[in-house]
A and B are shown apart, each in its own frame.
Chain A
Amino acid sequence: MFNFEKEFLSDLNKEVKTGTTVMAVTFKGGVIIAADSRTSSGSYAVNRVTDKLTPVHDQIYCLRSGSAADTQIISSYVSYYTNMFSIEEGSKPTVKKAAHMFREFLYQNKQYLHAAIICAGWDPIEGGSVYSLPLGGSIVKQPFATGGSGSTYLYGYCDMNFKENMTEEEAEKFVTYGITEAIARDGGSGGIVRKAIIDKNGVRRKTVYGNKLKKFWEK
């Protein structure tokens, strides 16, 4: 039997996911984080200008991939707790602290969640740091991290092009080209490239619009 709803509207009832590409890279003096801007519900792009760079604290950001609802609620919990702790302690939280709070939420609730987070930022103790928190709730500190459906297309690119202690310009180019390439190849990623540079002076946000994205091998 032909079912109109089942055939044509099934996409609209799918859970909203951030089929995504996100990257975070440490450089000499801080971190750069970058993401695409597509939120999809099946094949419908719910939001083509999403901001996936979510502030957790003054100089700590997180990159969200997986279920949009899950990641939003967890990042607002961690943001709440980092703010409360910083008032209690009288000093800003370290990236390590925020990342471990993410871990606690993701691990203790792993049955219910479909969320992967990259927590990156700058603090005076470690400088720039990037922590990767994949689906199961583990935590790994890395010099750079990628996440989301588009990240699969970037493993080779990152392995070949990443260097420790890059300058800010080099790191910016590294992430911009990476996200651009993932947008080109991954159906779940698209739109514009949003970037944020976090160092001891604070956060600077930048955007690269669709028509300005560099075209790699394309006819």
Chain B
Amino acid sequence: MSGIGTGYDLYPTTFSPDGRIFQVEYAHKAVENSSTAIGLCCKDGVVFGIEKIILSKMLVEGTNRRVFSVGEHIGIATAGLTADGRRIVQNARQEAKNYENFTSDIIPIHVLTERLSIYVQVFTLYNYIRPFGCSLMIGSYDEEKGPSLYCIEPDSVALGFYGCAIGKGKQEAKTEISKLKLSEMTCKDAVKEIAKILIKTVHDETKEKEMELEMSWICKETKGKHKLVPKKLIEEAVEWVKGQENEED
């Protein structure tokens, strides 16, 4: 199957004549094959929502986790190759622990993001290791500085966002997110809105199997600690989305 990059796409150590590194771009494609993850930076915190496709009825609920804690105060959501994501999270936990041991302060999110993006970049330099096939969203909430959300892509670019989506349905999700007034939204409302986007806009019931919602937040209510959104709230959000559908019909 010859694609656009034929000849220049064997190793990350080769630039194409038009200045692209195809291996890194193919890594992006790996992320685009995965199911969608959304992160919203609200008035009082950050909320993550992940559309998890249920591959088999034999799978236990909540397994195949795609959202992780780093320290107590930072959450990371992944899209793409989950194993790659777990590797980066392991590195993040190491960084956070070392920082805390050395300085007795918890690591600020922008420092962690910077260090992770340097780490991811290293894997785009050599021909004997491949780039990471995952994107990460990193979120945290601080009493003084407020909520922060960053996204790191396989090419190691790390940008700060108010609202972000990664994975298969990121285009549609981003369109929906841009319609929301994030600076006025509370985290509880964000849980509902994310559920709505994932269930209605992104998830295609005819093509794919059933989905499970995995959501977590770091907000004023959790006192700045990264926690899974309580199951009850997620169920209420799903009910609300169903209610909305019926209204529109």
Contact = CB atoms under 8 A, between A and B. Distances in A.
A104 B102 contact: yes
Interface in B146-168: none
23 contacts: A81-B102, A85-B103, A88-B111, A88-B114, A89-B108, A89-B110, A89-B111, A90-B110, A93-B103, A94-B105, A96-B104, A96-B105, A97-B103, A97-B104, A97-B105, A100-B102, A100-B103, A100-B104, A100-B105, A101-B102, A101-B103, A104-B101, A104-B102
Contacts of B104: 96-97, 100
Nearest to B115: A88
Interface string A71-98: 0000000000100010011100110110
Contacts of B110: 89-90
Contacts of A89: 108, 110-111
Nearest to A139: B104
Interface string B75-116: 000000000000000000000000001111100101100100
Nearest to A97: B103
Please classify the interface of chain B as helix (H, G, I), strand (E, B), loop, or mixed, using the class held by over half of its residues.
Answer: helix
Interface string A157-175: 0000000000000000000
Contacts of B114: 88
B110 to A, nearest CB: 8
6 interchain residue pairs of minimum CB distance: A100-B104, A97-B103, A104-B102, A88-B111, A100-B103, A89-B111
Contacts of B105: 94, 96-97, 100
Contacts of B111: 88-89
A97 B99 CA distance: 10
Nearest to A104: B102
Nearest to A98: B103
Nearest to A90: B110
Nearest to A81: B102
Of the listed residues A93, A96, A100, A101, the one surrounded by the most CB atoms of chain B closer than 10 A to its CB is: A100
Contacts of A81: 102
Given A90-B110, A96-B105, 5 more contacts: A88-B114, A93-B103, A96-B104, A101-B102, A104-B102
A107 B108 CA distance: 25
A93 B103 CA distance: 10
Contacts of A96: 104-105
A195 B97 CA distance: 37
Nearest to A94: B105
Contacts of B103: 85, 93, 97, 100-101
Contacts of A94: 105
A100 B105 CA distance: 9
B112 to A, nearest CB: 10
A89 B108 CA distance: 8
A88 to B, nearest CB: 5
Nearest to B100: A100
Nearest to A82: B103
A136 to B, nearest CB: 17
Nearest to B103: A97
Nearest to B105: A97
